[in-house]
Amino acid sequence: MIDRITVDKIIDAANIVDVVSDFVTLKRAGANYKGLCPFHDDRTPSFMVSPAKNYCKCFACGKGGNPVGFIMEHEQLSYPDALRWLAKKYGITIEEREQTEEEKANHTERESLFIANEWANKWFQEQMYETPDGKAIGLAYFRGRGFRDDIIKKFQLGYCPSGRDKCTQAALKAGYKEQYLISTPDEDGIAHGVGISIKHEDGKIFDRFSGRVMFPIFTISGKVVGFGGRVLDTATKGVNVKYQNSPESIIYHKKNELYGLFQAKQAIVKQDCCYMVEGYTDVMAMHQNGVENVVASSGTALTHEQIRLLHRFTSNIVVLYDGDAAGIKASQRGIDMLLREGMNVKLMLLPDGKDPDEFGREHTAQEFQAYMENNQVDFIKFKTDLLLKESQGDPIKLSRLVNNIVQSIAVIPDEITRTFYIRETAQMMQMQERLITDAVSKQVKINIEEWRKEREREGKRQQMHQQGATNPSEQAAANQQSSSALPDDFPPPPELLDGGGDTPQNSTVNPSYSGNPYHQQPAEGIAVKRDKNTQEAKETLIVQMVVRHGETIVCNVQDDEGKDIPLSVAEYVYYVLQEDQLTLTNPMHQRMLNEAINHAHDDGFKAERFFLNHPDQGVCSLAFELASDKEELSKVHDNQQKMNPQEKTNQLMDQVNHLLIDLKLCIVEKQKKELMLQMRDPEVLKDKERCRELIAQFQQIKEVENALAKACGDRVFMH
């Protein structure tokens, strides 16, 4: 357990801009900051960070929170673990008692896997630095590749010793359960274990990475999600795959990870640029030569998830190639994916087909950096120079070259950027700009049609899946369509990126599915414009006053002994509602009012701070919306700075009273309508006694309404 005093220290120390900046590149927007949302596919910054409120929120998907809530959501941690994460960041010591066995058992499966990976990472390092074989084989291998010890430690490299099950037995002896060590896929093929061990059908367990040097793979916050293990050079003969990665698991999805991003994120933000290389050692070599803004796709084809992750830190990327022309052309899809995501792409080819690791060993750090800076070329020029060599004198090949470039330009979402690339291509190819423009426009229309067809196919597949297609011919047709479809994460073409394009009227796309990430549905918890005359809307305004001013003393009441008892805004609201035996209909509203009353007399209690740092993120989110509402309760609010304290208190009391009267008027109006409906019921009209009762009730309600209206007066509050 973390005591309240320590929790308050953590909350006081945690700065939302500081915390979010570890994961998102933020730019100032007036008094706030904005950036690309880390919780959904965001291409136009919709993630707002308020330093004044110490809160963040995405106004597209609705996710966010205070520093604790943000870490809980981003890192998938519990409330106590998010506090521990922040405590570690800010150097705050947490004194905790030993967890009970029951508390240990309550750790989530995800947390257990992270803990197991962290243990394995330390064990692999211990084996390399503290055992004879580790020093002679593992450490010698890295040093033999020319890596300095500081680089080896920076990337936390290690060694898994040869042997059938040394790592597995060490883990079991340390108390880690077998179920978290082996890879046990579920129906979807996702493992519920980290996979450092493999279990045979005969029940025997052995090490997955035996005899390999180890490269831990980190999340952007520094948690180990998996490993890459490389066989040593002496053991590569006859081995087709030198590297073996951890299997997919509930915490590790290879398509979502970029090797080196944890070590590179600050340099990427500072340089506003990122180098993309192929392998682990390429990343390390560039760090060793002073270039730290570099990541690797770990030998896999670039994915949309990796690009979107990187896009949160920069829009500029330089792709380093170390292959031949055939390999470069094969990676064309990756370049187009980068362009489609709005990235500014440059490319670089190292001389003599060398990779960054080899090139770095042959040159000084100064020579390496100079080459990086002087040999980046725009993707259009790179592709043109590369393909022109094969196309000289052949009109058909030249036509294919132009079409190839046109296809790349057509996926760029920004129209102005497309125009510049069209002009540059026309100049380089010595063609009329109009011809390139027409070709790009035609390709954009083709992209739009492909996107729409794919969305229709996706809708049909979802419908058949939900209905359970039993007709073999229908299922075969669906499979055939699926096999020729675009990738599942294929984003909309540029013409639709502003949300202006709609799916065709006759489309069978599932209404809950939108391939266009800019066609956002209001997320749960987001304030949506509602009718301001509803009872819930009236209650919301009252709770807003409780959030903003709940602790402020506005009046005194006398107890049975005639002593004055000061009442805060929260207490006064509760007192007035209780007089008429009313409660707030929204459970969240009533809960917040109750909590404000319970803490009203705590030392230093501030309602806004209390709710913005509430453990329940639903409360946090609602409090942020209410505290951040820019609309004012009255025009007089603008002049509050000119008022003395008593005038401010009087005005606040006046506002609260009017809001409470407004709520009561709304309830009375609702009761009137219900009575009128009853009096129109033919069955009721036959019962004269019942009619007289209803008329009497109606007259009483009218009297209450008149009294409330008189109390309210003519003053109108704009909100």
Domain range summary for the chain, segments of one domain joined by +? 4-89, 107-252, 535-712
Please state, in angstroms and rounded to a whole number, the distance separating the CA atoms of residues 601 and 578. 20
More confident site: 229 or 250: 229
Distance CA 7, CA 14 (A): 11
**Rounded distance, CA 574 to CA 660, Å?**
10
Question: Between these two residues, 536 and 562, which has the higher pLDDT value?
Answer: 536
d(CA 411, CA 492): 9
**Lowest-confidence range among 135-149, 346-360, 516-530, 676-690?**
516-530
CA distance 179 to 192: 8
Check if the beta carbon of residue 243 is closer than 8 Å to that of residue 236.
no
315-343: pLDDT as tens digits: 899 988 765 555 566 567 788 888 888 88
Q: Does the pLDDT of residue 265 top 60, yes or no? A: yes
Which range among 164-168, 612-616, 667-671, 709-713 shows the weakest confidence by mean pLDDT? 709-713
Phi-psi region of 651 (alpha: psi -120 to 50; beta: other; left: phi over 0): alpha
**Distance, first Cα to last Cα, the chain:** 43
How high is the pLDDT of residue 135? 94
- What does the pLDDT average to over 227-244? 72
pLDDT at 528 over 50: no
Residue 699 vs residue 22, higher pLDDT = 22
pLDDT-derived band at 519 (thresholds 50, 70, 90) equals very low
Higher confidence at residue 509 or residue 390?
A: 390
The β-bridge relationship of strands 316-321 and 377-378 is unpaired
- Quick check: do 4-89 and 107-252 share a fold? no
Alpha-helical segments (H) within 294-355: 304-311, 325-330, 332-340
Does pLDDT of 93 surpass 80? yes
Q: In percent, how much of the chain has pLDDT > 70?
A: 79
Asked whether residue 81 carries a pLDDT value surpassing 90, the answer given is: no
CB atoms within 10 A of CB 442: 12
Q: What is the pLDDT of residues 424-449, one digit of tens each?
A: 888 888 888 899 899 989 988 888 88
CATH class of the structural domain 4-89: alpha beta
At residue 473, does pLDDT exceed 80?
A: no
* CATH 1.20.1260.10 fits domain 107-252: no
pLDDT tens figures, 175-200: 888 888 998 777 766 777 899 999 88
pLDDT at residue 715, as a whole number: 42
Binning pLDDT at 50, 70 and 90, where does residue 470 land? Answer: very low
Q: SS3 sequence, 410-447?
A: HCCCCHHHHHHHHHHHHHHHCCCHHHHHHHHHHHHHHH
Size (the chain), residues: 719
Per residue in 622-660, pLDDT (tens digit) is 887 787 654 333 343 445 555 677 778 888 888 888 888
472 pLDDT higher than 70: no
Q: How confident is the model at residue 214 (pLDDT cuts 50, 70, 90)?
A: very high
273-290 residue pLDDT tens: 999 988 899 999 999 999
Q: In a 3-state reduction of DSSP, which class is residue 382?
A: helix
Distances from the Cα of 283 to the Cα of 115, 292, 328, 653, angstroms: 26, 8, 19, 63
| Mean pLDDT score across all residues of the chain | 78
Q: Which residues are within 8 A (CB) of 436 and not within 5 positions of it... i.e. 6 or more apart?
A: 402, 406, 409, 422, 425, 426, 429
Pairing of strands 243-245, 224-231: antiparallel
Rounded to the nearest 5°, which phi and psi values hold at 155?
A: -95, 5
Q: Is the Cβ–Cβ distance between 206 and 171 less than 8 Å?
A: no
Q: How many CB atoms lie within 10 A of CB 112?
A: 19
**C-beta atoms surrounding 503 within 10 Å:** 20
The pLDDT, as a whole number, for residue 188 is 67
Neighbours of 519 (CB within 10 A): 15
What is the per-residue pLDDT across 401-423, written as a single tens digit (0 to 9) for each?
A: 888 888 888 888 888 888 888 88
pLDDT at 169 over 80: yes
Q: How many helices (H) and strands (E) does the chain have?
A: 31, 18
The strand ranges marked E within 104-260 are 158-160, 197-199, 205-207, 212-218, 224-231, 243-245
pLDDT of residue 216: 96
The yes-or-no verdict on residue 485 having pLDDT over 60 is: no
Of 125, 122, 138, 298, the closest CA to residue 212 belongs to 138
